[in-house]
């Protein structure tokens, strides 16, 4: 059972986490939701299309202009409070690696801290424990925040062995600090500290993560490994993203961090029906 905010999600219940970037320079939307009103409109659309979690980020993942702690707090905490008032039942996640930001957004009403940089700030898990929030434990291959991978190598080429070692270690540490076990997710960290081949291998072997019993979150949406695999620019990666989503769903991932909510919902519903976890929405064929 995964418990986030007011919601409990069953073992075979896929969960969509919609991305809302509070940055002027995000790789995908180029600042489309930097302002409050466009961002709120994005939240409303995402919820209506089936997102259970809204993931708010104040710093783009890649290199760029410096964003101070104070600026990241300014971009996220007030908006978290606004979303909490407008959408009292939605699960609010904040994508940050800094404990100071975690403190501010939890005080404003966040339910999850999405640590995409693999525990680089060990105090972030302490904040999650103190506030009783969920926590995403991600494999970033030892990369520093906002850096791109360069000649990354893993012992014997075993990226999944390292993913398991790091994410399980982070999860166990979090439990030891007092983070709720039913609020912890592990994430293989596609693209983070990885080449395209590493991310493909991580996807192929995702079942090894789901077999651990921890809920697995995947952040696949329009990423570079999809673009390089198909030789497609950012705006033409939806088909590859959805294919990867279907494979991840079949292998047991539970939470999907995405830009395109409606399309992801259909893929997850279709995979769930094939797996026998949900009935068809309509079943008339051959019955009349």
Residue 244: what pLDDT? Answer: 98
Residue 32: what pLDDT? Answer: 87
CA of 65: how far to CAs of 84, 95, 111, 164, in Å?
A: 29, 18, 28, 32
Phi and psi dihedrals of 58, rounded to 5? Answer: -110, 0
Residue 215: what pLDDT? Answer: 98
**Cβ–Cβ under 8 Å, residues 94 and 116:** no
Residue 233: what pLDDT? Answer: 97
Residue 288: what pLDDT? Answer: 73
Helices 99-108/69-86 angle, 10° precision? 20
Domain spanning 2-275 has what CATH number? 3.20.20.20
Low-confidence ranges of the chain (pLDDT < 70): none
Length of the chain in terms of residues written: 288
Rounded-to-integer distance, Cα 238 and Cα 223, Å: 10
* Sign of torsion over alpha carbons 257, 162, 151, 99: positive
Residue 166: what pLDDT? Answer: 98
Phi and psi dihedrals of 45, rounded to 5? Answer: -65, -45
């Amino acid at each position: 059972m995964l418990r986030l905010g007011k919601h409990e999600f069953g073992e075979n219940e896929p969960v969509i986490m919609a991305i809302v970037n509070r940055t002027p320079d995000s790789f995908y939307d180029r600042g489309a939701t930097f302002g409050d009103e466009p961002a709120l409109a994005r939240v409303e659309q995402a919820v209506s299309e089936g997102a259970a979690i809204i993931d708010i980020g104040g710093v783009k993942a890649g290199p760029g202009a410096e964003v101070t702690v104070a600026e990241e707090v300014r971009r996220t905490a007030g908006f978290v409070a606004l979303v909490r008032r407008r959408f009292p039942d939605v699960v609010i996640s904040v994508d940050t690696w800094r404990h100071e930001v975690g403190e501010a957004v939890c005080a404003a009403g966040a339910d999850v801290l999405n640590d995409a940089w693999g525990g680089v700030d060990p105090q972030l898990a302490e904040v999650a424990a103190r506030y009783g929030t969920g926590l995403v434990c991600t494999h970033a291959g030892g990369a520093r925040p906002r850096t791109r991978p360069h000649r990354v190598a893993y012992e014997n080429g075993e990226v999944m062995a390292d993913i398991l070692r790091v994410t399980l270690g982070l999860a166990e540490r979090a439990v030891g600090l007092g983070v709720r076990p039913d609020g912890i997710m592990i994430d293989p960290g596609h693209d983070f500290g990885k080449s395209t081949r590493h991310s493909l291998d991580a996807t192929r072997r995702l079942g090894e993560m789901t077999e651990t019993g921890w809920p697995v979150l995947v952040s696949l949406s329009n990423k570079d490994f999809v673009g390089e695999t198909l030789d497609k620019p950012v705006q033409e990666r939806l088909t590859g993203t959805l294919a990867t989503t279907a494979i991840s769903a079949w292998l047991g991932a539970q939470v999907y961090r995405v830009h395109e909510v409606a399309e992801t919902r259909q893929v997850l519903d279709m995979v769930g029906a094939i797996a026998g976890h949900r009935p068809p929405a309509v079943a008339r064929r051959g019955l009349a």
